[in-house]
Amino acid sequence: MISLKEKAHNVLRDAGVTINGAKPWDIHIHDERFYRRVLSQGSIALGESYVDGWWDAERLDEFFFKILRARLDREYKPFGQALFHRVSNALFNQQSPSRSFHVGERHYDIGNDLYQAMLDTQMVYTCGYWKNARTLGEAQEEKLDLVCRKINLRKGKHVLDIGCGWGSFAKFAAEKYGARVTGLTVSKEQAALARERTRGLPVEILFQDYRDVEGTFDHIVSLGMFEHVGPKNYRTYMRTVSDHLKNDGLFLLHTIGSTVPGTDVDPWIDKYIFPNGVLPRPAQLSGAASEFFVIEDWHSFGPDYDKTLMAWNNNFESHWGELKKKHSERFHRMWRYYLLSCAGAFRARDIQLWQIVLSKDGVLGGYESVR
């Protein structure tokens, strides 16, 4: 009878990964209990056992690229691995108004010092645009400018930023384009620092759920927030945006997405990084939007998230000497696993990044795509 170690060896061999091998992406096992734990529990056990120090890989990002490109996550998924998460999302509204602040408390409120160390100087926590960029800072400025150009932003226009983070877009749009911006966040820490960073600018930062927004706006943007909305709220979200967008305004939605049916989010990411997160699929997006909007443009540049995440990880590691005064070594391994597993996933094209431009009645004469 084949042993669990042999079974794991055979599975990983299909992806070009060797147990205790010499290549940077090979996996090195420090605790023999790893095999039973991971083969029975799947991806959540893979992440938990890494944080526990049961295994390592010199290039964690390449390890994930290899196994995800080989689709091992789909072929060898233990029964029930993501069942609880999927059933919970089907039966319950995990992103209801009363629960919408959980992700702010669990993820974004863990310390502005962490994000200041990890991100660029503008504190952009979404995918950069690397087409003409060489550094993380350049890529993020290119992305912010790309968003402004896609909505044809003009001086004096009022923009709603749903999920404004630490105010990076609001600050950029106000300073570079002369816009007025209202930003929404469900993180108290983000709201406090965003207000500080945008002081003196025509920017208002509100600590509130998107469903409580008031007023009408020339344009609306949402950069990296839709992953927290949830399928049961997609129509509500689109209706809310439509209700508060002027008839001739544009709405830009920037979101991570999935093209794999039946996949919501990795169970480990859901448990430890982004609680109640769900990656939308194209049909879900277009289905929810079609009642309220015309989709003018759909731009996919997921590989740019790979570069962004690698840059974030480099910053995180280079600042760990300071960060470890507040965070444990377990947190160090957890955060590294989060950043590098996601980098590998985008490199393998397992998950996607989309920027979608929508209008309420269709742009007269047609919308000219901006890249």
* Rounded distance between C-alpha atoms, residue 203 and residue 173, angstroms: 10
* Rounded distance between C-alpha atoms, residue 116 and residue 255, angstroms: 22
Q: Would you name the residues annotated as active-site residues?
A: 342
Tell whether 52 and 145 lie within a shared domain: no
- Residue 100 main-chain phi, psi, to 5 deg: -65, -20
Tell whether 72 and 214 lie within a shared domain: no
Query: Count of domains in the chain?
Result: 2
Model-level pTM? 0.93
In a domain? residue 274: yes
CATH number, domain at 219? 3.40.50.150
Tell whether 226 and 151 lie within a shared domain: yes
* Rounded distance between C-alpha atoms, residue 108 and residue 146, angstroms: 25
Query: pLDDT tens for residues 308-363?
Result: 999 999 999 999 999 999 999 999 999 999 999 999 999 999 999 999 999 999 99
pLDDT, mean over the chain? 92
Looking at residue 102, its pLDDT comes to 60
* Final residue belonging to a domain, choices 84, 106, 125: 84
Tell whether 183 and 52 lie within a shared domain: no
Query: pLDDT tens for residues 277-290?
Result: 899 999 999 999 99
Query: pLDDT tens for residues 101-148?
Result: 566 666 787 889 999 999 999 999 999 999 999 999 999 999 999 999
* Rounded distance between C-alpha atoms, residue 159 and residue 156, angstroms: 9
Query: pLDDT: is 85 or 201 the higher one?
Result: 201
- Is pLDDT above 50 for 58? yes
Give the β-pairing of 217-223 and 245-257: parallel
Tell whether 143 and 249 lie within a shared domain: yes
In a domain? residue 101: yes
* Rounded distance between C-alpha atoms, residue 256 and residue 355, angstroms: 9
pLDDT-based confidence at 87, cuts 50/70/90?
very low
Classify each residue of 60-91 as buried b or exposed e, where b means 16 or more C-beta atoms within 10 Å of its C-beta. bbbbbbbbbbbebbeebeeeebbeebbeebee
Contact 125, 165 (CB under 8 A): yes
* Final residue belonging to a domain, choices 28, 52, 84: 84
- Is pLDDT above 60 for 81? no
Domain that holds residue 34: 4-84
Determine the straight-line distance between the first and last CA of the chain, rounded to whole angstroms. 56
Tell whether 111 and 209 lie within a shared domain: yes
